[in-house]
Amino acid sequence: MPANDLPVNSVSAQLSPTYDAVWQSQTVEQTVAALQTDLESGLSAQQVSDRQIKFGSNELEEKAGRGTWEIMIDQFKNIMLILLIAVAFISAALDLMNLLNGQVKPNDIPFKDTIAILAIVILNGVLGYLQESRAEKALAALKQLTSPRVRVTRAGKITEIDSKELVPGDVIQLEAGVQVAADGRLIEAANLQVRESALTGEAQAANKQPHKILTGDTALGDQVNLVFQGTEVVQGRGTVVVTNTGMQTELGKIATMLQDVENDPTPLQKRMDQLSQTLVTGSMTLVVIVVVGGIIFAGLDKWQQLVEVSLSMAVAVVPEGLPAVITVTLAIGTQRMVRRNALIRKLPAVETLGSVTNICSDKTGTLTQNKMVVQSLHTASSAVQISGEGYIPQGDFVVGGQPVNPQDYPEARALLLGCAMCNDSILQQDGQHWQILGDPTEGALVVAAAKANIERDQWKSKLPRVGEFPFTSERKRMSVIVQDVNGALRLESALPDVPYMMFMKGSPELVLERCSEIQQAHNAKPLTNAQRETILASNNELAGKGLRVLGFAYKPLQDVPPQDTEDSAEQGLVWLGLIDMLDAPRPEVKDAVVRCQSAGIRTMMITGDHQLTAQAIAQDLGIARAGEPVLVGRDLEKMDAQELEQQVQNVNVYARVAPEHKLRIVQALQNQDRIVAMTGDGVNDAPALKQANIGVAMGITGTDVSKEASDMVLLDDNFATIVAATEEGRVVYTNIRRFIKYILGSNIGEVLTIAATPLVLNGVFDVPLTPLQILWMNLVTDGLPALALAVEPAEPNVMDRAPNNPKESIFARGLGIYMVRIGIVLAILSVTLMWWSHGYTHANLTAADPNGDRWKTMVFTTLCLAQMGHAIAIRSNSQLTLTLNPLTNPYVWGSVILTSVLQLMLVYVEPLRNFFGTHYLNGTELAVCIGFSLLMFVWIEGEKLFTRKAQPAPRLAANDDWS
């Protein structure tokens, strides 16, 4: 009995929602039997209902991610913020105790330190939340590929339904222009071509052949008897039985991989975590030493003063302004990159670009133009190269390295006329852009003819088509019959003057075997066996270079042959020649690859296209050399993770790979501590884009799925833009290191100054800096110049050195030693001033300062102003400040002036003086502060005089180990 008459329970028992048959290796009859459907009547209503329950909707499912509150709470798990929160609560407790005991000083505001600290904590938490809370939209973009209407046969009737209602076993109809709504096995097809580039990465539309039986390990791009969800029918029609829906489709597998990919921390985030742990550990160690030492030498009655000292030290060690400065710096970097056509979607990606060691690039649309372009034509007496880009009908014809006029080569002109006539594509101009309507391969032929001034639209009226033997996957050739209405062929001296002419194109072997003559100059002459062998050898050589090759021929006719006489009519033709074409490389990519190599970055090609094509493009661009290995997907499938990690060290070209293979390659590189950028434009690239340290999507040709999965979008689809973005990433990281040196040098100086106070003042446990004053220094006095340092221009050799070492500590290359050294120098200056000013102010009491506390304001002011000299001097590690052009970064000078004025306002504006707990300084006291501050600038400039040599980063080859 028919499948749709089987008992429902029998059907549901035999069908599984995880059914994973190798459909390409099954016949149509086996597929229909396995899915228990009927090709004539389709599924019954009961079967559909039962399968919808079992399989669910034909939609992509989304896993639950982190909620808003979870993301927000995660921001406050940072160890430095936890330390600040603890300090805020302890400070509040002390203020409350003083308030209850009546020990509040005049003009003092209770809890102001607590409020200020908590405000900073909340600000940092909000900044982190805003960076992380961007919802991933890749799955939503995938869903847009799965929601077309579809024609389906059910209960003996053809109806149109929403694609989400499809179930395995449904019989659907395809025609040109429709989007495939589910994965399925072809039942029948007529000249069916499906564009699968978004899924497989292959530029050429796939010719579908329902009666092919393939092996189980056939690559996705070669599964010509199947169709896949999200692809587009560009030509012909077909009938399909649905095999997989929803998350079981190839598109669903990509969605699963997208959701399973977990984003690892960027190098900068890892370094900031390391920095936080180091600072907090160091701070706690110093606090313990001070408290324990203070109790031992001063007794327990000094515990409150010791706690206040500890609080100030804890606040001093945390660079409260650093997260904001880094965020703003990265944002500035994104703006510079936008001006260079690179749109950054995630801020941390800016710095990560500076550490990129490997760029794994998709071929189609990224390294190539995603446009088939004729490279050359080969006739009996000449090989003619054709230049030009894309579909622009402009280019030179070159023979032996010299430009020629195709009018002087009658064989070539006749061949190009065949390209224009035996063609169904249309070349048209849309504004500044040329585009093809129709098959890309035929489009390339139309463009090649147009470059010789053979415009297809004009010749269509001169030689109207009166007959056709269409292309099919079985015939692998196409013939058209045109009528010479007004003797137009007489203008083409190489072709005979006849009323009708047949032009044929197709597989060179099949076209050649139907030819008995060959065109030589203006005449057709008998085709010899030697000539046949030469043509076939040329065909094999061109195909071996990864080129797509077509053969052309013609036949003079006196009458139009009947439609059912193609076998006899397509005999006795005259061979015209071969045309080879290629999805040509982008012209700027070759130079970009060279720049990558100079910068120590290894470029790799990972594509779903054919091995020979990938190899040819890679060698042309310099990504691989002749003889280097190419790894194909079926071989990669057999490797375990360890074997693949060995292979990725030597292989630069990967062909015929599936989406999961791209993901594995990226992971194998990351397991070797490589920082990987993955470029791509298709749906198939999305999981690898998300997994990579930097996912780079194409802005023009890229799908929404690839863009949403990426960290960076190339607005001009230019591979060279990646190199420009990498340069900006290196500049950003260099500037981040520069202002970290600046900020943390100051913090270390503050901590050492506070810790040394009891020693310098003979056991006086008085805090020279309150938490509020320290926050002012860390946020304003340090923060504004740090932001100015963030826009320091690039160094000349930034792209002539190796990538930033991903294993490198934030303290590497002398940064840690520099911070400690500068911190000690700053502390010595401050402590010396403290020792002198403490005695001076106590000996010169004033009515406004009866306790002689002006020494604290002098220390506070000196620390702030000394950092201004530090900011000016740190712009260069080797050049003296006087030799630097101040106009290259005027923001530094502006920030120094502004910060100095703000600092003086805290001393001389009474409301600010009362709030920050400072005292009025007379001219002599201020001059002493300025004098001690200038010594910081003098010290750093003196270091430059002693060292006076550059410290270039070590050069590494692109494939060298970081160890």
| Catalytic residue list | 362
Structure tokens at 503: 């032009």
CA distances from 545 to 222, 362, 521, 617 (A): 19, 19, 28, 9
- 519 alpha carbon, distance to own chain's centre: 51
List 524's β-bridge partners, or say none. 519
In DSSP notation, 320-377 reads TTHHHHHHHHHHHHHHHHHHTTEEESSTHHHHHHTT--EEEE-IIIIIEEEEEEEEEE
Please give the helix or strand (H or E) that residue 371 lies within, else none: strand 368-378
What does the alpha-carbon distance between residue 105 and residue 417 come to, in Å, rounded to a whole number?
A: 98
- Comparing CA positions, the residue from 711, 743, 776, 724 lying closest to residue 917 is 776
3-state SS, 595-621, equals HHHHCCCEEEEECCCCHHHHHHHHHHH
Do residues 748 and 89 make contact, with C-beta atoms less than 8 angstroms apart? no
Helices (H), 761-814: 771-776, 783-789
Question: Would you tell me how many other CB atoms lie within 10 Å of the CB of residue 945?
Answer: 9
- Comparing CA positions, the residue from 693, 686, 727, 691 lying closest to residue 708 is 686
What does the alpha-carbon distance between residue 723 and residue 593 come to, in Å, rounded to a whole number?
A: 9
What does the alpha-carbon distance between residue 280 and residue 85 come to, in Å, rounded to a whole number?
A: 13
What does the alpha-carbon distance between residue 612 and residue 546 come to, in Å, rounded to a whole number?
A: 4
User: Residues, the chain, total?
Assistant: 963
Do residues 769 and 312 make contact, with C-beta atoms less than 8 angstroms apart? yes
Nearest-5° Cα angle at 659, 655 to 665: 65
What does the alpha-carbon distance between residue 159 and residue 170 come to, in Å, rounded to a whole number?
A: 12
What does the alpha-carbon distance between residue 546 and residue 539 come to, in Å, rounded to a whole number?
A: 11
- 526 alpha carbon, distance to own chain's centre: 57
Alpha-carbon Rg for the chain, nearest whole angstrom, is: 37
Helices (H), 436-507: 440-451, 456-462
Return the DSSP state at 417: H
End-to-end C-alpha distance for the chain, whole angstroms? 70
Residue type (1 letter), 28: V
Q: Which residues contact 923 (CB under 8 A, 6 or more apart)?
A: none
Please give the helix or strand (H or E) that residue 171 lies within, else none: strand 171-175
